[in-house]
Chain A
Amino acid sequence: MKIKILAIFLIGFVLCSCAKQNEPDSRTTLTIAAGATAIETELLREQIGIFEKENPGIQVKLLALPPSSSQQHDVFVTYLSAKNSTIDVFNLDIIWIAEFSAAGWLAPLEPYWASIDRQDFLKGTMDACTYHGLLYAVPWFSSCGLLYSRIDVLNRFGFEVPKTWDELKNIVRQIQSQEPQWAGFVWQGAQYEGLACNFYEAYWANGNYKSTLQRMHESISENISPRSVLSYKEEDARRVFMDGKALFMRNWPYVWSIIQNNPDLKDKVALSPLCWGDNPQHGVSCLGGWNLAISRYSKHPDLAWKLVAFLTAKNQMREKCLRTSEFPTRKSLLEDAKIQGHNPYWDKIHEVLLNARSRPTTPFYSDWSLKLQFEVSKSLSDPSAPYDHIADILKLKWKEIMDLEEKGQ
């Protein structure tokens, strides 16, 4: 009896799976790989749905990747170094484009580019997508480091948002002397790419390696930042800040939309340029951003371009900026009334974004960044480390990278 039932189940199962396979699907399948937060993934699925309706012949599969950018990098390297054609469209971090295009993994977009308005994209983001004069990716959204402040606490003590390092230090000290439970300024100090961004922001504000290291050191040794920032990534810093434990935080714009969904914090946070330096006009921030590129091994590059053009079109980009608080890469959207109305601090942010600088564009960036993370993290975790020595090591490594690049060309 049992065997009979089992047999019926088995036969049924086999028949069902045959039926499914035989069902013809004439649509071409495109695969887009993107790692993102929950809000971003949800939005991307919606936009893909619209795209599929507009293009009945195309089916788009979303390959969701882990949120950590270095893990995404590993996935891409694994696929592309094996010349795998599964993924057609990649969502690439701004720092990988030179590396991937030098490796010959991305399809140059020049032949397609004429079909959309090139002039509308911000120059900084376009430069980062260009390698040896050829365009390899379309800027999808950009972001830059911002200073989040607990404006309610600052106001209670009669302070304004700080513009220089000394102001920030002073505020933290004064508030801590009366309410010692506050951690001052949290940023990303774990040994990973985020540390490189934080380092560059401090470096641009201070001008040289030595004084930058000194300043970051000072922030920890004088308890302006808790020692545990040395293990923080973006989300760690965000949680500490949103738990109401820190006065200031350096983070990317995505945190803004999360804060806006939190009724307790909603009106208590202000955005402003970073202030690692002494000059109030010099809050330079690090340009981050994600860009859509087409794999050289894609079997349907023309259709893939359609998808890229659709996702980076004005309407889709506006929707993305409104829902996720990321920044647009189109100039026309910077002036867009809806986007301006979305964020009360837009004027300030707008300026930060226009002045943001990108990390060096070289295929050897990750070699350099690894060394940078290693040395900076070592210097910060060891209070007795001589800055001079580490600054010299960094200079030497940078020269080595430049030599490599010359040799490569």
Chain B
Amino acid sequence: MKAKNLSLMPVLIIFILFGIVPVFYSGFMSFQGIWLKTPWLNKSFVYFDNYRLILTDPQCYQALWHTLGFVLITLGIEVSAGFCLAYALFRATMGKHYLIQLGLFLPLATPAVLSAQMWRLFFHDSQGLLNRVLEHLHMISQQIPWLSEPVLAWFTIGVAELWKVTPFVTVVLLSSLLNIPRQTWEAAYLDGAKGWKCIRFIAIPLIRKTILVIILFRMLDAIRVFDLVYVMTQGGPGGATDVLGLFVYRALFSEMAMGKASAASIIMIGLAGVLALIIFLVYRKYTKDYE
């Protein structure tokens, strides 16, 4: 074996051990009936029972739609807001103000649970900063039930997610914008391109690869949303903010059904795989067109 290939081994081994093996093991367990609470009912092979159990559960579909909605909406806002911010920063500073970029990384450096707890306290119905300030300014007569009203609860979760992720998108897109050769812009100015045309015909096409990669990463991340919802609402009120991550968590820790939880994880992985494939096909198509 060549030395070049050999140097890949450590990463490959770690990847296989912690990335591939667990997925296959989960797949294997998803066909087993493992109920920790009632070990005497365990079966070593139950065909597709676990999948049937999940796919006939209305709560699963509820969680699924919530997750997909969350992915689409936050992704749309993150990427468009991130791009606008990046472009504005690019025009205003040409990337010379490193402090701004450093500041943008702060939300991302905050541990997810911490930021979720922070937002929970910020929006807390009776103790929250927001309601208290609004009350002091006499802008509201009754506390706004940020966390106990389904739509508002989603709004608060969305805000927490956007706060954390948009700056990251901004920083990546900004660095990509800075990589566009200066001559391109100069040529565009000479041809009379201004404002929207610069964005539409120069910025977006030239950083499209980065945009697509960002969409891919963010999407895979958003599908796994768990920490924010777990800390802020635990899926309440009445399952209005239930997501797939919580569904798996409940199957494992409350029902203690390892098989069912594995099957649910496999469904989640499958879903992420399908979405990733779509993005990948789009990526291939768009990168070909322009080359």
Contacts and interface: CB of A to CB of B under 8 A. Distances in A.
A191 B239 contact: yes
Contacts of A370: 250, 254-255
| Dominant secondary structure at the A interface | helix
B38 interface: yes
Contact of B38 (A77, A227, A245, A408): A408
A386 to B, nearest CB: 14
Interface in B7-57: 36-41
A55 B15 CA distance: 49
B37 A363 contact: yes
| Dominant secondary structure at the B interface | loop
A-B pairs with lowest CB-CB distance, top 3: A378-B238, A191-B236, A228-B125
Nearest to A385: B238
15 contacts: A103-B37, A183-B126, A227-B145, A228-B145, A230-B237, A236-B126, A366-B255, A367-B254, A370-B254, A374-B239, A377-B236, A378-B239, A378-B240, A408-B40, A408-B41
Given A103-B39, A104-B39, A408-B38, A380 B238 contact: yes
Interface residues of B, number: 30
A23 interface: no
Contacts of A183: 126
B125 A231 contact: yes
A245 B41 CA distance: 51
Contacts of A74: 253
B206 to A, nearest CB: 46
B59 to A, nearest CB: 7
A379 interface: yes
Contacts of A103: 36-39, 256
A374 B126 CA distance: 23
Nearest to A223: B142
Interface residues of A, number: 43
Contacts, number: 111
Interface of A: 73-74, 77, 81, 99, 102-104, 183, 189-192, 226-232, 236, 239-240, 243, 245, 363-364, 366-367, 370, 373-382, 404, 407-408
Contacts of A240: 126-127
Contacts of B255: 366-367, 370
Nearest to B147: A231
Given A236-B127, A245-B126, A230 B41 contact: no
Contacts of B38: 102-103, 363, 404, 408
B80 interface: no
B126 A192 contact: no
B150 interface: yes
B236 A231 contact: yes
Given A74-B253, A190-B234, A364-B37, A239 B239 contact: no
Nearest to B123: A231
Among B143, B148, B240, the most chain A Cβ lie within 10 Å of the Cβ of B148
A376 to B, nearest CB: 8
